[in-house]
Homo-oligomer: A and B are copies of this chain.
């Protein structure tokens, strides 16, 4: 356990934990499979309750310390889960610049969000600790195939879902977003840098009376139809499933309901559903469907 670049030991899996419920959910699934696991909560970032688990807190600003901790436990691999706000990632890189090639760092930072995470992953793997694909680390958290909860989609919704996935496929090479809202075959919003939540909120605004909403408010006056539509979310082509994969959760459902959508369609096996129970409950309560579809 000394030289960098060598594979790590046969010890436990190490879960580097950011904020949110995801780390505890991943940890639970890994432990239920009978694997050994050490949670490494990021100090000041992780907010899960890990009291019943073996933990080794690490500091996002001390990459050398993190690698040393991984070496001490002979970790055979790393799982990354949870949110790390970008300011945090920025600081991380500032401090990591001292220990890693600054040319690489610059490239990583200039490349945007995806590259930031790829940089962290690269650093861990360069030091001999493979980072696991979350689909393998916690397969049960991924959306399955078929109707996952809520009512059966209408025919209109089913057509929207099919067309939505088709359009996301088209958007793939442009490396734009992973989600859109489509209603009666009309694309109401496409996600780029703003994130899925902000995109759904935009649809609500478009449909609400008000300055910006006036246009769509009167969009189909004789039919009075200001609701319906589906949030369609999929993985990007070339998605790195070792971190930051597409996620939906209870908040996604609540926002979709507020925007008048009839449901959510996600790529099965590629989109993670966080807090499954609360997500299903929110969907049932709002009468929204969630379906998983294979590409």
Q: Are B221 and A90 in contact (CB under 8 A)?
A: yes
Is A72 positioned at the interface, with any CB of B under 8 Å from its CB? no
Task: Give the interface residue-count category, chain A.
Answer: 35 or more
Q: Are A87 and B221 in contact (CB under 8 A)?
A: yes
Residue from the set A90, A113, A184, A195 with the largest chain B CB neighbour count within 10 Å = A90
Is A276 positioned at the interface, with any CB of B under 8 Å from its CB? no
Q: Are B198 and A193 in contact (CB under 8 A)?
A: no
Which residues of A22-63 are within 8 A (CB) of B? Answer: none
Q: How far is the CA of A191 from the CA of B194 in the complex (A)?
A: 12
Q: Are A110 and B189 in contact (CB under 8 A)?
A: no
Which residues of A88-115 are within 8 A (CB) of B? Answer: 89-91, 93-94, 97, 106, 109-110, 112-113
Asked, given contacts A93-B222, A109-B220, whether A187 binds B198 with beta carbons under 8 Å apart, the answer is no
Is A3 positioned at the interface, with any CB of B under 8 Å from its CB? no
The segment out of A127-135, A173-181, A244-252 that lies at the interface is: A173-181
Q: How far is the CA of A189 from the CA of B217 in the complex (A)?
A: 23
Is A186 positioned at the interface, with any CB of B under 8 Å from its CB? yes
Which residues of A109-159 are within 8 A (CB) of B? Answer: 109-110, 112-113
Q: How far is the CB of A246 from chain B (nearest CB, A)?
A: 16
Q: Are B184 and A193 in contact (CB under 8 A)?
A: no
Asked, given contacts A86-B218, A87-B214, A173-B170, whether A109 binds B223 with beta carbons under 8 Å apart, the answer is yes
Asked, given contacts A192-B187, A193-B189, A212-B198, whether A219 binds B86 with beta carbons under 8 Å apart, the answer is yes
Is A281 positioned at the interface, with any CB of B under 8 Å from its CB? no
Q: Are A222 and B190 in contact (CB under 8 A)?
A: no
Q: How far is the CA of A195 from the CA of B87 in the complex (A)?
A: 31
Q: Are B212 and A194 in contact (CB under 8 A)?
A: yes
Asked, given contacts A170-B171, A177-B190, whether A184 binds B110 with beta carbons under 8 Å apart, the answer is yes
Interface residue from B85, B91, B192 paired with A180 (Cβ < 8 Å): B192
Q: How far is the CA of A212 from the CA of B217 in the complex (A)?
A: 24
A110 to chain B: which residues have CB within 8 Å? Answer: 184, 220, 223
Q: What are 9 A-B interface contacts by the 8 Å CB criterion?
A: A86-B217, A87-B214, A89-B218, A91-B221, A106-B222, A110-B220, A170-B170, A176-B187, A202-B202
